[in-house]
């Protein structure tokens, strides 16, 4: 899935629960003037997300900035702008909007998880871990397994493998079939030289969901390390058939040619 598509999905999720209908006159501007600042911010944020879905990033940003002029404390607008700024590489502005959203919604799991992911990408692992834990403490957060898995991925990136393993396992206690946690544990065990344990988690993943290119590539590496050429070649065929243009398929072609 393309990064923009992921961004749109997250932005839409952030807007969940906001009202969508606009009352008023045929004139959009006159109608906007009649609604409260909070309502106007909601409307403009939804318009911004709509533009984002169509790939019109500049128009999306204009609507989101308009939303914040109506209501400077509108968290979905701050978060969506933060995601856009991060995607286009303006990390200073992204950080500013993430911090503001985190300050305004300190107990919201989705907000804290999004900010923590950003912090981890910036290499601030300690702060990221703190905000991931804040996310998991929200009793109304619908997907705590996501925050635990993200926390595990961040711990792994920081070099704390033991903590990462623990976080992934907490995610699987919440949802035993959560594909991302299963994939991370499979990859973690493979990198530690425990191919049989890696295979067990990958098999669980394949039973729970349709594997992505990364999982198929990992399957090839696991089976190759175990000397199972038939099974390894099956992963090659699946990767070429299902994801021929993926970076994993290109890398695998190079590996096969070198053998």
Can you name the CATH fold of 178-258? 1.25.40
Residues 96 and 79 sit within 8 Å (Cβ to Cβ)? no
pLDDT score for 11: 58
d(CA 215, CA 234): 13
What is this structure's pTM?
Answer: 0.86
Give how far Cα 85 sits from Cα of 7, 58, 255, Å: 11, 11, 37
Computed on alpha carbons and rounded to an integer, the radius of gyration of the chain in Å comes to 21
Angle at 211 between CA 240 and CA 148, to 5 degrees: 140
Query: Is the model's pLDDT at 26 over the cut of 60?
Result: no
Taking residues 5-15, what's their average pLDDT? 55
pLDDT score for 253: 87
Each residue's pLDDT tens digit, 36-81: 999 999 999 999 999 998 999 999 999 999 999 999 999 999 999 9
Q: What are phi and psi of 138, to 5 degrees?
A: -80, 110
pLDDT score for 17: 38
Q: What are phi and psi of 6, to 5 degrees?
A: -60, -40
Domain 37-104 has CATH 1.25.40.10: yes
d(CA 157, CA 159): 5
Place of tokens 């993200």: 150
Taking residues 137-143, what's their average pLDDT? 96
d(CA 215, CA 205): 8
Each residue's pLDDT tens digit, 144-166: 999 999 999 999 999 999 999 99
Within the chain, all domains assigned CATH 1.25.40.10 are found at 37-104, 178-258
Q: Who's near 190: CB < 8 A, 6+ residues apart?
A: 198, 218, 221, 222, 225
Each residue's pLDDT tens digit, 77-113: 999 999 999 999 999 999 999 999 999 999 999 999 9
């Amino acid at each position: 899935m393309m990064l923009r598509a992921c961004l749109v999905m997250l932005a839409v999720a952030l807007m969940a629960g906001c009202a969508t209908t606009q009352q008023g006159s045929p004139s959009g501007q006159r109608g906007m003037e009649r609604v409260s600042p909070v309502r106007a911010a909601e409307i403009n944020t939804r318009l911004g997300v709509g533009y984002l879905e169509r790939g019109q990033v500049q128009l999306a940003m204009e609507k989101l900035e308009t939303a914040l002029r109506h209501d400077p404390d509108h968290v979905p607008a701050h978060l969506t702008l933060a995601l856009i700024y991060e995607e286009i590489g303006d990390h200073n502005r992204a950080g500013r909007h993430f911090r503001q959203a985190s300050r305004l919604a300190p107990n919201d799991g989705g907000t804290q998880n999004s900010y923590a992911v950003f912090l981890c990408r910036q290499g601030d692992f300690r702060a990221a871990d703190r905000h991931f834990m804040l996310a998991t403490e929200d009793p109304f957060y619908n997907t705590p397994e996501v925050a635990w898995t993200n926390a595990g991925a961040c711990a792994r990136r920081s070099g704390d493998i033991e903590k990462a393993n623990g976080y992934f396992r907490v995610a699987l206690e919440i949802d035993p079939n959560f594909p991302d946690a299963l994939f991370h544990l499979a990859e973690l065990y493979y990198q530690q030289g425990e191919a049989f344990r890696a295979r067990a988690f990958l098999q669980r993943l394949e039973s729970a969901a349709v594997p992505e290119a990364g999982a198929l590539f990992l399957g090839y590496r696991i089976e190759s390390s175990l000397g199972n050429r038939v099974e390894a070649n099956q992963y090659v065929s699946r990767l070429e058939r299902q994801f021929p243009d993926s970076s994993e398929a290109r890398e695998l072609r190079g590996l096969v040619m070198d053998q």
